[in-house]
Amino acid sequence: MGKYHEGLRGFFKDIDDNVKAEKNSHRKAILDNYLKHAALEYTDRWKEIFDPVRTVAHPVYKVRWGTDEDVIYDGPDAVQGFYRTLKDDTFLTNQDQLLAVNDWGFTSFLKIILHMNAEKARREGFEVDDDSAQYALETPCAMYWLYDDKAKLIGEYVYEIGKSTYSKTAPSDVITDEDVQEIVAPYLPPVS
């Protein structure tokens, strides 16, 4: 397995380990919600993120990632549009997370990697030297996720905190959507 496989496995293991270790029931519920939310983001079941047991009726996301200003997604339709955009000829993986939880929610530092084919990379303005290759845009980010007193997600703040790096993925590190599905499967909530 390549570095993106191991990075994503480590990302989910870290959240799961935090869930298991947390003694405070409210904080444990926040972490468990995050674990399921993160797993759902990688699947066709991503709309389950908005189930009323996981997310408030009117979530607000603030994202500064590749922009000079915050992009605000206000309400469920806007936030769902954010997820649709992420799935437009790309998929992401996360890795190298440092996570801290509190009663208000959690904060984390991590690397978010957008994986894309050559056509998408070219459309995004990146240099492409191999039309059959996979490309990766790695971005260090800080996230602050807010939760209510029932451990439902109120909103996400996601901020790019360092320079992104772009590269052609080494053949040994190529990760597929199928690989991602296999990695996240153990963390998905049961189908309702």
Q: What is the pLDDT of residue 106?
A: 98
Question: For residue 89, what pLDDT band results from cuts at 50, 70 and 90?
Answer: low
Angle at 184 between CA 179 and CA 186, to 5 degrees: 125
- The answer to whether the predicted template modeling score (pTM) of the entire model surpasses 0.85 is yes
pLDDT in tens, 47-77: 999 999 999 999 999 999 888 899 999 999 9
pLDDT surpasses 90 at 91: no
Q: What is the pLDDT of residue 188?
A: 97
CATH of domain 3-186: 3.10.450.50
3-state helix, strand, coil in the chain (%, to 5): 40, 35, 30
Q: What is the pLDDT of residue 84?
A: 85
Q: What is the DSSP string of 5-46?
A: HHHHHHHHHHHHHHHHH--SHHHHHHHHHHHHHHHHHTSTTG
Burial of 16 (0-12, 13-18, 19+ CB in 10 A): middle
Q: What is the pLDDT of residue 67?
A: 83
pLDDT in tens, 94-132: 999 999 999 999 999 999 999 999 999 999 899 999 999
**In sequence order, what are the beta bridge partners of 125?**
none
For residue 41, give every residue at least 6 positions away whose Cβ sits within 8 Å of its Cβ, in sequence order, or none.
49, 83, 86, 92
First-last CA distance in the chain: 32
76 contacts 59 by C-beta, under 8 angstroms: yes
